[in-house]
Amino acid sequence: MTPALATDVAVAPLPAREVLPWALFGILMLAFAIYFVGAEQGASAVVQGDMIHEFMHDGRHLLGFPCH
């Protein structure tokens, strides 16, 4: 016996109003990640001290951001 294959499969489109909040959330999280990896503890530091710099140090070098 071979399994039957469905040939008429209707895929409902995703409405933009359902995708937009998740897309904005993803863009915001990406912006925070790029800021903390690339710019924190520089001229525009938000967090005082070296904790963020040391935590993100290897990621900066891996992504090509200068930090020394």
**Contact criterion met (CB below 8 Å) for 46 and 40:** yes
Is a pLDDT exceeding 80 seen at residue 39? no
Residue 40, number of CB atoms within 10 A of its CB: 19
Distance CA 21, CA 41 (A): 30
Quick one: pLDDT at residue 2? 65
Q: Which residue has the higher pLDDT, 24 or 39?
A: 24
**Mean pLDDT within 5-26:** 86
**Contact criterion met (CB below 8 Å) for 65 and 37:** yes
pLDDT-based confidence at residue 22 (cuts at 50, 70, 90): very high
Residue 65, number of CB atoms within 10 A of its CB: 14
The single residue listed with the structure tokens 């925070």 is 32
Quick one: pLDDT at residue 9? 76
**Contact criterion met (CB below 8 Å) for 62 and 39:** no
